């Protein structure tokens, strides 16, 4: 029954994937005069907008596959940045790992599992109704010498993962250094953020900052910019920009230059009025209010005890960043400045105490969300058990007796529901990270990535495997010595669920490719005129995608020894994801910031955790299988893995935190005689001015046109 439900799930997902890929082939093509939905290329001017519809241009074409495959890593780096390269390297790393794992698992471990002590009871003609336990390690006879193959495989896969992790860490760290050496002077390289600036009576905050750095950093200090509280002003500017965009869109309509129309529900209902005149009046009032607010800002009342301090060299900025500036550790606190457009300005309106309290509240909220999420996980687990479902919902007994219905409910529906629930977690975690006190949008996303990752590992693995109440799950971890044995008992029972979950994820990859909702939203907005339809290319949501990939890496490593049947499905997931996300990064997503590959340490730490967890379960499995010698010989494996992890952290992680003095001085000296540096320093002095305090020129929107659903690429 389990295998039958699994085959049904695979069939449904393959059908959906084929359908979505066909839709993608119709809607998205690559260069030529072909209609496509490529917001990034249009924003960058590499494609043209068109309202013309040509059916011949919508013929299926596999050109997007060829371009996504043939684009070199250097082209991807120059176009999308190092973060995109790191994201793609996760797929490459995972593909290498599971190529080896699938070879060992399918050709060595799976036959050993299948031809275990139940070989003579197996009926090959009734295979689809057999339990997946026949393919698990549980089918191998206790104390069998065949278990030494699994023991050897644990050592082999550990060696392979550690070697590849080291190679990737080294490769990405070198890429980070190469990118730094090749970069032009950037404001964030010469700037630090200083918070907790003490106030002195009779002295302005600006004077305090200047006197402090002129005294302790006289040779490297250049200038500073004090941060102001501008939350209300930013709100006014945002409202004015939204109204101006709507006004420009109304004026661009050829059928309605300045006439009256109904202003509700696609123009069918509502009061008839001159929208252009109404929006013009509202915009005039808002802009006048903004000008008054900007001119009336007080430099003493509205200042925040924070500033962007600029230096004459990268080494000078790094020196101020690394050392404690004050005897009081909560005063003159420094951290690396983000890119100017990456600054999260609302944060500076919060005091130190408010930020500290916010961090505590975020921790409590994250734990609460994790606990509450056990409810949908328990519901999903109930769907996988047909007998339990019949007991809970007796009125569905007749429907559940239908074979196809029961197979869909138990094999496909649980994993689909779980993915839907997981999709709402990343936005919530991003809100939590926003409240936590990060000074940049990229910092918010990195913080959210870590939160989503550990939430996903707990609720996507432990909460599903360790079925039961919250108390029973916590009780397991209160007895650490029993964890390997309990995991060894519970994990194999969920093999069929995770295979179905992986296969269901093929469909989510296809949906990422087609982006049907975005297509329909653009079409509805363009046709109805009820929405602001200015074209904006989305940015890649690393905080949601990286944890999802790492969950599959965890599942694959865990089930490598227990149930190798899952490995081909995971390998297919990484193959599909690799080609799809290369296309998305090149044509759809536009990077909004660059962290220099700082997501890779998160990937490395998560992979080490998955590897140690696999080794712990292998220890428990061999103990349950009455092979104590194998369990004893496995004990050095996690120790060596953690030592390797410690070495990698010492060797590579500092490169991702800050650059060495050697690197910075070399870079500074190479630009010492550059005549353009004086101009750069002049611009640096104003690079971190609050954009809400600068005059806004909205004439750039005057010629904007409606953004259509389809676009035409230039040859």
What is the arrangement of strands in the sheet containing 711-713, beginning at the earlier edge strand?
35-36, 711-713, 47-49
Selection from 599, 257, 638, 312 nearest residue 453 by Cα: 599
Does the pLDDT at position 605 exceed 60?
yes
458/401 Cα distance (integer angstroms): 34
Does the pLDDT at position 125 exceed 50?
no
419/397 Cα distance (integer angstroms): 26
Q: Which two tokens mark 88? A: 């793609």
Task: Give percent above pLDDT 90 in the chain.
Answer: 34
Q: Which two tokens mark 102? A: 């699938």
What is the chain's length?
715
Residue-wise pLDDT tens digits, 520-554: 666 555 555 544 455 677 888 899 999 999 999 99
Contact 179, 82 (CB under 8 A): yes
Contact 561, 113 (CB under 8 A): no
Helices (H), strands (E): how many in the chain? 32, 9
Measure Cα distances from 388 to 201, 268, 373, 415 in Å. 72, 51, 20, 17
What is the arrangement of strands in the sheet containing 191-195, beginning at the earlier edge strand?
221-228, 303-311, 191-195, 333-336
Cα-Cα end-to-end distance for the chain: 54
Residue-wise pLDDT tens digits, 222-247: 999 988 887 778 888 888 877 887 77
In the block, residue with structure tokens 């209300």 = 232
Could you tell me the pTM of the whole model? 0.83
Measure Cα distances from 367 to 364, 450, 606, 709 in Å. 5, 14, 19, 41
Does the pLDDT at position 396 exceed 70?
no
Does the pLDDT at position 104 exceed 50?
yes
pLDDT for the residue numbered 523:
59
7/412 Cα distance (integer angstroms): 10
- Mean pLDDT value across the chain: 78
Residue with the bigger pLDDT between 28 and 591: it is 591
Q: Which two tokens mark 228? A: 């102001």
Residues forming a β-bridge with 72: none
Does the pLDDT at position 617 exceed 70?
yes
Contact 572, 99 (CB under 8 A): no
Selection from 301, 448, 424 nearest residue 362 by Cα: 448
Selection from 335, 176, 213, 86 nearest residue 660 by Cα: 176
Contact 707, 534 (CB under 8 A): yes
Contact 528, 266 (CB under 8 A): yes
* Domain spans in the chain, listed from the N-terminal domain onward: 3-119+138-185+353-526+552-659, 188-253+273-352+674-692
Residue 95 banded pLDDT, cuts 50, 70, 90:
very high
CA atoms within 13 A on the CB side of 547: 26
Residue with the bigger pLDDT between 319 and 273: it is 319
Residue with the bigger pLDDT between 489 and 51: it is 489
Q: Which two tokens mark 570? A: 């995971």
Residue-wise pLDDT tens digits, 496-521: 778 878 887 877 777 777 776 666 66
pLDDT for the residue numbered 174:
95
Residue 26 banded pLDDT, cuts 50, 70, 90:
very low
pLDDT for the residue numbered 520:
64
pLDDT for the residue numbered 69:
85
């Amino acid at each position: 029954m389990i295998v039958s439900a699994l085959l049904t799930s695979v069939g449904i997902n393959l059908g959906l994937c084929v359908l979505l890929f066909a839709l993608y082939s119709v809607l998205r093509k690559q260069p030529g005069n072909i209609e496509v939905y490529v917001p990034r290329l249009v924003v960058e001017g590499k494609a043209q907008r068109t309202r013309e519809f040509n059916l011949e241009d919508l013929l299926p074409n596999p050109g997007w596959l060829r371009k996504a495959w043939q684009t070199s890593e250097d082209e991807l780096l120059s176009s999308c940045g190092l973060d995109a390269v790191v994201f793609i390297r996760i797929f490459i790393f995972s593909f290498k790992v599971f190529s080896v794992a699938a070879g060992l698992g399918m050709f060595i471990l799976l036959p050993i599992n299948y031809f275990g002590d139940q070989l003579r009871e197996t009926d090959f003609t009734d295979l689809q109704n057999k339990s997946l336990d026949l393919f698990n390690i549980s089918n191998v006879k206790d104390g069998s010498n065949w278990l030494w193959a699994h023991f050897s495989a644990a050592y082999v896969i550990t060696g392979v993962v550690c070697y590849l992790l080291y190679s990737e860490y080294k490769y990405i760290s070198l890429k980070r250094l190469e990118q730094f050496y090749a970069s032009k002077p950037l404001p964030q390289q010469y700037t630090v953020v200083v918070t907790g600036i003490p106030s002195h009576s009779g002295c302005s905050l600006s004077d305090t900052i200047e006197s402090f750095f002129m005294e302790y950093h006289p040779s490297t200090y250049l200038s500073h910019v004090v941060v102001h509280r501008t939350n209300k002003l930013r709100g006014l500017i945002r409202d004015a920009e939204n109204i101006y965009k709507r006004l420009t869109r109304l004026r661009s309509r050829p059928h309605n230059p300045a006439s009256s129309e109904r202003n509700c529900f696609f123009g069918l209902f509502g009061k008839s009025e001159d929208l252009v005149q109404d929006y013009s009046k509202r915009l005039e009032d808002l802009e006048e209010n903004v000008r008054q607010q900007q001119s009336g800002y007080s430099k003493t009342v509205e200042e925040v005890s924070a500033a962007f301090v600029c230096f004459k060299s990268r080494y000078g900025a790094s020196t101020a960043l690394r050392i404690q500036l004050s005897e009081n550790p909560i005063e003159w606190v420094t951290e690396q400045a983000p890119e100017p457009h990456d600054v999260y300005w609302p944060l500076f309106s919060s005091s130190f105490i408010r930020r500290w309290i916010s961090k505590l509240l975020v921790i409590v909220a994250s734990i609460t969300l994790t606990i509450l999420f056990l409810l949908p996980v328990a519901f999903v687990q109930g769907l996988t058990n047909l007998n339990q479902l019949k007991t809970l919902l007796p009125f569905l007994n007749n429907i559940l007796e239908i074979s196809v219905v029961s197979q869909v409910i138990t094999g496909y529906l649980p994993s689909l529901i779980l993915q839907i629930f997981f999709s709402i977690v990343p936005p919530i975690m991003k809100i939590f990270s926003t409240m936590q006190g990060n000074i940049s949008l990229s910092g918010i996303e990195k913080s959210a990535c870590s939160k989503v990752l550990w939430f996903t590992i707990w609720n996507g693995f432990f909460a599903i495997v360790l079925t039961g109440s919250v108390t029973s799950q916590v009780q397991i971890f209160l007895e650490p010595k029993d964890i390997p044995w309990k995991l060894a008992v519970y994990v194999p029972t969920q093999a069929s669920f995770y295979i179905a979950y992986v296969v269901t994820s093929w469909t989510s990859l296809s949906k990422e490719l087609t982006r049907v909702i975005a297509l329909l939203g653009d079409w509805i907005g363009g046709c109805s005129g009820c929405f602001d339809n200015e074209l904006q290319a989305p940015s890649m949501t690393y905080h949601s995608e990286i944890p999802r990939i790492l969950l599959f890496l965890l599942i694959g490593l865990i089930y490598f020894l227990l149930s190798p049947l899952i490995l081909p499905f995971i390998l297919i997931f990484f193959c599909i994801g690799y080609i799809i996300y290369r296309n998305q990064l090149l044509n759809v997503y536009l990077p909004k910031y660059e962290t220099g590959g700082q997501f890779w340490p998160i990937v490395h730490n998560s992979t080490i955790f998955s590897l140690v967890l696999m080794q712990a379960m292998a220890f428990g499995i061999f103990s349950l299988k009455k092979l104590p010698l194998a369990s004893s010989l496995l004990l050095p494996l996690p120790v060596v893995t953690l030592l390797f992890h410690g070495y990698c952290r010492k060797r590579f992680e500092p490169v991702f935190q800050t650059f060495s003095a050697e690197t910075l001085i070399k870079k500074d000296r190479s630009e010492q005689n550059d005549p353009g540096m004086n101009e750069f320093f002049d611009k640096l002095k104003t690079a971190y001015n609050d954009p809400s305090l600068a005059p806004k020129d909205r004439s750039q929107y005057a010629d904007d046109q409606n953004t259509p659903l389809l676009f035409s690429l230039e040859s």
